Chains A and B, each alone.
Chain A
Amino acid sequence: MAQSASVEAGYAMTKKLLGIDDLSIGLPVYADRPRAVSKVSFSLNEGEILCVVGESGSGKSMIANAIMGLLPRELPVLGGKIDLQGIDLLTQTPAQLRSLRGSRMGTVFQEPMAALNPLMRIGDQIAEVFYVHGLPGKPQQIIDLLRAVNLPDPEALIHVYPHMLSGGQRQRVVIAMAIALEPALLIADEPTTALDVTTQAQILNLIREIQRRRNSGVLFITHDFGVVREIADRVIVMKDGELVEHGTVSDVLKRPSHDYTKKLLAAVPKPNTGAPRPRSERTILKASHLRKTFWRGNKEVAALNDINLDLRKGETIGLVGESGSGKSTFARTIVNLIAPDSGEIRFEGTDLHSLSRKQWKPFRKRIQFLFQDPFESLDPRRSVGDIIAAGPMAHGASAAEARAVAKEKLRLVSLDPSALDRWPHEFSGGQRQRIGIARALAMNAELLIADEPVSALDVSVQAQILDLLEGLRDKLGLSMLFITHDMRVAAQICDRIAVMKLGQIVEEAPAREILSNPQHPYTKTLIASVPGLSGESANHRTVEAL
């Protein structure tokens, strides 16, 4: 008797929730491949978190949209079967699908800032889930839901409009809506990608907690193997619309079978384990007591609050912080895109802040900037050659000389010189970032300020650009201030790491010291929040702890 009960319980634990069979989704004719998703099959059990991993364009989000029946019209389902608890979703009428959405399957999206209706109170938006399914949705239920997603003061929160909440808080509200009717399936489409790392850690914990409590199945879509390590039970890897690998999290992470998975895993940035490079005695850039405040509405925000930094010749310092920490403001004050309120920035002894525009000009050659977004940082109306030549020409080179320089620099960043006469839109993100590097190096800069240069790139491209930067740094003896939100990236490329929070550098030390022995509580939180850095699946850790 007891035995059969446990067998039944065991059966319930592994009951199939979602089955996807041979699913294919079409693409418009002008796309680069015939199908967004091609013959993909997998299943998801109750009480399980399945991660779908892939780079941009792999078709991973399309699967989520197909399950919900929310594919755009130009992306039709070409074939296959989606089965949710015995219901064939692809044969449902729109009205039937609609009644399943929200009740049987809840969804969390990537963009928390825009995922809520700006004109509706939080309470009303959650109540709507009940309302559209013909349920009463009592105020107490809504308050309980807000409490379940660990939002503070739920009684007051129901009267608040979305713009008054932070990104993390909004994502919690979206999760509250997704779980309101206790759906068996929770679909999370990159739910933490737009969030800061500490918030990401909290949201991941929340999703796991809810999944445990309700024994729901979670289809978790992500591009980040760190996140996979944190949350997944099983993993599927997608590439160009095809499923290339499928297995338990430990199998896929430790013993990947497909080359693409191996390549992706190898591209995940890892702390540099080589011998530390010696630190030069010569200071190239020294910031002292730098301050800058902005007015946000009628509130004063200190973007830089007494910043001090000493960058040595040939050294790379990583400036790590979350959004709003002031790290980009600092980068921009160094190149005079933003004027500081007070303090000094000395470049080889000269205070840059006190210079006139004219006096600044010679320093433009020596200090250069690398921007974040490869699709934003190149003028779409100028050829690649003109873009790279603009710097030398602004400093008096003739057109022919500047062109020769541009050609040479393209080679330096491993691009074909034929790129000179082509247009930015003809290149991929990674290639465009190489063009950006060529532009920054066209005047033989000594100091490179790199503002999140790899955060807009897919992980495999990110690895290539990091390698390129590392190689150029060593070859040209560049000094670098490397701004990033990603501790893993900083750990790979930087000699020292400075951690910024609310306009202050809270801790600065050699990279490996910061990682192995953080001193400041914020640094500790930050490092603890980095997904997958511990090397062990958190899910499994907790299971063992239980």
Chain B
Amino acid sequence: MKSFVRRFPRMAIGSAIILAVIAMAATAPIFFPFSPWDMRGSPFEPPGSPDFLLGSDALGRDIAAGIAHGAWVSLMIGGISTMASLGIGVSLGALAGYVGGRVDDAVMRFAEFFQTIPSFLLAILLVAIFRPSIFSIIAAIALVSWPPVARVVRAEFLSLRKREFVQAAEVLGVSHMRVVWQTLLPNALPPVIVLGSLMVANAVLTESALSFLGLGDANWMSWGFLVGSGRSVIRIGWWISVLPGVAIFITVLGLNLLGEGLQTWLNPRLSKRDMP
């Protein structure tokens, strides 16, 4: 353990941060057993005041409670949307890389399209038109973030198919499904894992940006919403925007450290254009 920390300090710090955020999300109902939307006292109390550890907002809501409860939304949306886009990306990438030819062309044109258009604007459009909800936010983030995964998996498959040990499986008469599941996917996995952790970071950022613009789910407290709601009163209570923003920063930093650590640990070669 100790030597692991010394060898992969980034991964250790990153994991510690993420575990702390998860712990915060899990314990939010214990430490703040009330809705983060509740008005708990006078507005604009600065951090450190007796009622509010991290201050209160313009309506007297507890910022600390908002941050703790908001952690849950950030992690959940980041996690689920990444899972979904990994699902889309891995299947399309595997299909393109294994079948090749026209299928490959079609999938790659499709991915290129999604990579070129201003994806954040598309996410805004999707959430706005389908009305803001946890579901529409997750779907929008998943829909705009799968192309790098598809590219990575396809590139891995293409290079693996030229590798002799994959050709060896073919020559032995191993079935398509077994080649894909036993030989190609396990060997293509390391860069996907690294990409996955970086994508969670990106998804957390995108979610917070959406709710900052007022496109959050009104039933859930989120960090981006807190930052956005404090923006107009920044001259009176800077902490309302800044502290939840710092929470986003720390989480994203942790995920990035984790991703970089995983990259040195698993040592895959990610092409630069595929970094999110």
For B166, what are the chain A residues with a Cβ–Cβ distance below 8 Å?
Answer: 379
Q: Is the CB of B167 within 8 A of A390?
A: no
Instruction: Given the known inter-chain contacts A379-B183, A379-B187, please indicate yes or no for A390 contacting B165, CB distance below 8 A.
Output: no
A297 vs B72: C-alpha distance in the bound complex, in angstroms? Answer: 52
Which residue of A337, A380, A395 is within 8 Å of B173 (Cβ)? A395
**Residue on A nearest B166 in the bound complex, by CB:** A379
Q: Does B175 lie at the interface of the complex (its beta carbon under 8 Å from any beta carbon of A)?
A: yes
Q: Is the CB of B171 within 8 A of A369?
A: yes
Q: Does B83 lie at the interface of the complex (its beta carbon under 8 Å from any beta carbon of A)?
A: no
Residues A173-203 near B (CB distance < 8 A): none
Instruction: Given the known inter-chain contacts A379-B183, A380-B187, A381-B187, please indicate yes or no for A390 contacting B172, CB distance below 8 A.
Output: yes
Instruction: Given the known inter-chain contacts A394-B172, A439-B172, please indicate yes or no for A371 contacting B167, CB distance below 8 A.
Output: yes
A475 vs B172: C-alpha distance in the bound complex, in angstroms? Answer: 22
**Residue on B nearest A367 in the bound complex, by CB:** B171
Q: Is the CB of B173 within 8 A of A373?
A: no
Q: Does A60 lie at the interface of the complex (its beta carbon under 8 Å from any beta carbon of B)?
A: no
For A379, what are the chain B residues with a Cβ–Cβ distance below 8 Å?
Answer: 165-166, 169, 183, 187
Which residue of B165, B169, B172 is within 8 Å of A376 (Cβ)? B165
Instruction: Given the known inter-chain contacts A379-B187, A380-B187, A381-B187, please indicate yes or no for A368 contacting B165, CB distance below 8 A.
Output: no
Which residue of A365, A368, A371, A443 is within 8 Å of B164 (Cβ)? A371
A373 vs B166: C-alpha distance in the bound complex, in angstroms? Answer: 13
A205 vs B195: C-alpha distance in the bound complex, in angstroms? Answer: 51
Q: Is the CB of A337 within 8 A of B183?
A: no
Q: Does A65 lie at the interface of the complex (its beta carbon under 8 Å from any beta carbon of B)?
A: no
A395 vs B178: C-alpha distance in the bound complex, in angstroms? Answer: 12
Q: Is the CB of A369 within 8 A of B175?
A: no
Which residue of A373, A381, A382, A391 is within 8 Å of B172 (Cβ)? A391
Instruction: Given the known inter-chain contacts A381-B186, A381-B187, A394-B178, please indicate yes or no for A364 contacting B171, CB distance below 8 A.
Output: yes
B residues contacting the other copy or chain, number (CB 8 A): 18
For B187, what are the chain A residues with a Cβ–Cβ distance below 8 Å?
Answer: 379-381
Which of the four size classes fits the interface of chain A? Answer: 20 to 34
For A369, what are the chain B residues with a Cβ–Cβ distance below 8 Å?
Answer: 167-168, 171
A364 vs B179: C-alpha distance in the bound complex, in angstroms? Answer: 15
- Some 25 contacts from A to B, beta carbons below 8 A apart, are A335-B171, A337-B167, A360-B173, A361-B173, A364-B171, A368-B171, A368-B172, A369-B167, A369-B168, A371-B165, A371-B167, A372-B164, A373-B164, A376-B164, A377-B164, A377-B168, A378-B168, A380-B187, A390-B169, A390-B172, A390-B174, A391-B174, A394-B173, A394-B174, A443-B172
Which residue of B167, B168, B173 is within 8 Å of A439 (Cβ)? B168
**A509 CB to nearest B CB, Å:** 29
Mark each residue of chain B from 148 to 177: 1 if its CB lies under 8 Å from any CB of chain A, else 0. Answer: 000000000000000111111111111100
Q: Is the CB of B163 within 8 A of A364?
A: no
Mark each residue of chain A from 386 to 405: 1 if its CB lies under 8 Å from any CB of chain B, else 0. Answer: 00001100110000000000
For B170, what are the chain A residues with a Cβ–Cβ distance below 8 Å?
Answer: 337
For A439, what are the chain B residues with a Cβ–Cβ distance below 8 Å?
Answer: 168, 172
**Residue on B nearest A378 in the bound complex, by CB:** B165
**Residue on B nearest A451 in the bound complex, by CB:** B164
**B12 CB to nearest A CB, Å:** 22
A368 vs B183: C-alpha distance in the bound complex, in angstroms? Answer: 19
**A345 CB to nearest B CB, Å:** 14
For A390, what are the chain B residues with a Cβ–Cβ distance below 8 Å?
Answer: 169, 172, 174
Number of A-B contacts (CB under 8 A): 56
**Residue on B nearest A392 in the bound complex, by CB:** B172
For A368, what are the chain B residues with a Cβ–Cβ distance below 8 Å?
Answer: 171-172
A361 vs B170: C-alpha distance in the bound complex, in angstroms? Answer: 10
For A364, what are the chain B residues with a Cβ–Cβ distance below 8 Å?
Answer: 171-173
Interchain residue pairs A-B with the least CB separation, the first 8: A364-B173, A377-B164, A391-B172, A371-B164, A379-B165, A376-B164, A394-B174, A369-B171
A280 vs B167: C-alpha distance in the bound complex, in angstroms? Answer: 31
**Residue on B nearest A390 in the bound complex, by CB:** B172
For A395, what are the chain B residues with a Cβ–Cβ distance below 8 Å?
Answer: 173
A453 vs B166: C-alpha distance in the bound complex, in angstroms? Answer: 17
**B164 CB to nearest A CB, Å:** 4
Which residues of chain B have a CB within 8 Å of any CB of chain A?
A: 163-175, 178, 182-183, 186-187
For A380, what are the chain B residues with a Cβ–Cβ distance below 8 Å?
Answer: 165, 187
Interface centre among B171, B173, B178 (most CB of A within 10 A): B171
Which residues of chain A have a CB within 8 Å of any CB of chain B?
A: 332, 335, 337, 360-361, 364-365, 368-369, 371-373, 376-382, 390-391, 394-395, 436, 439, 443
A432 vs B170: C-alpha distance in the bound complex, in angstroms? Answer: 19
A369 vs B167: C-alpha distance in the bound complex, in angstroms? Answer: 9
**B146 CB to nearest A CB, Å:** 25
Which residue of B168, B175, B183, B186 is within 8 Å of A371 (Cβ)? B168
For B171, what are the chain A residues with a Cβ–Cβ distance below 8 Å?
Answer: 335, 337, 364, 368-369
**Residue on A nearest B176 in the bound complex, by CB:** A357
A373 vs B162: C-alpha distance in the bound complex, in angstroms? Answer: 12
For B169, what are the chain A residues with a Cβ–Cβ distance below 8 Å?
Answer: 379, 390
For B186, what are the chain A residues with a Cβ–Cβ distance below 8 Å?
Answer: 381
A286 vs B178: C-alpha distance in the bound complex, in angstroms? Answer: 31
For B164, what are the chain A residues with a Cβ–Cβ distance below 8 Å?
Answer: 371-373, 376-377
**Residue on A nearest B183 in the bound complex, by CB:** A379
A380 vs B171: C-alpha distance in the bound complex, in angstroms? Answer: 18
For A394, what are the chain B residues with a Cβ–Cβ distance below 8 Å?
Answer: 172-175, 178
For A381, what are the chain B residues with a Cβ–Cβ distance below 8 Å?
Answer: 186-187
A376 vs B171: C-alpha distance in the bound complex, in angstroms? Answer: 15
**A5 CB to nearest B CB, Å:** 63
**Residue on B nearest A357 in the bound complex, by CB:** B176
**Residue on A nearest B160 in the bound complex, by CB:** A379
**A131 CB to nearest B CB, Å:** 31
**Residue on B nearest A334 in the bound complex, by CB:** B171
Q: Is the CB of B183 within 8 A of A391?
A: no
A212 vs B163: C-alpha distance in the bound complex, in angstroms? Answer: 44
A439 vs B170: C-alpha distance in the bound complex, in angstroms? Answer: 13
**A384 CB to nearest B CB, Å:** 12
A376 vs B167: C-alpha distance in the bound complex, in angstroms? Answer: 10
A373 vs B172: C-alpha distance in the bound complex, in angstroms? Answer: 17
**Residue on A nearest B167 in the bound complex, by CB:** A337
**B162 CB to nearest A CB, Å:** 9
A436 vs B169: C-alpha distance in the bound complex, in angstroms? Answer: 12
For A337, what are the chain B residues with a Cβ–Cβ distance below 8 Å?
Answer: 167, 170-171
A382 vs B184: C-alpha distance in the bound complex, in angstroms? Answer: 12
A439 vs B172: C-alpha distance in the bound complex, in angstroms? Answer: 9
A394 vs B169: C-alpha distance in the bound complex, in angstroms? Answer: 9
Instruction: Given the known inter-chain contacts A379-B187, A381-B186, A394-B178, please indicate yes or no for A365 contacting B165, CB distance below 8 A.
Output: no
**A389 CB to nearest B CB, Å:** 10
A376 vs B168: C-alpha distance in the bound complex, in angstroms? Answer: 10
A379 vs B163: C-alpha distance in the bound complex, in angstroms? Answer: 9
A28 vs B242: C-alpha distance in the bound complex, in angstroms? Answer: 48
**A127 CB to nearest B CB, Å:** 32
**B173 CB to nearest A CB, Å:** 3
For A371, what are the chain B residues with a Cβ–Cβ distance below 8 Å?
Answer: 164-165, 167-168
**Residue on A nearest B187 in the bound complex, by CB:** A381
**Residue on B nearest A439 in the bound complex, by CB:** B168
Q: Is the CB of B163 within 8 A of A391?
A: no
For B163, what are the chain A residues with a Cβ–Cβ distance below 8 Å?
Answer: 376
For B178, what are the chain A residues with a Cβ–Cβ distance below 8 Å?
Answer: 394
Interface centre among B163, B164, B178 (most CB of A within 10 A): B164
Interface centre among A332, A365, A378, A391 (most CB of B within 10 A): A391
For B183, what are the chain A residues with a Cβ–Cβ distance below 8 Å?
Answer: 379
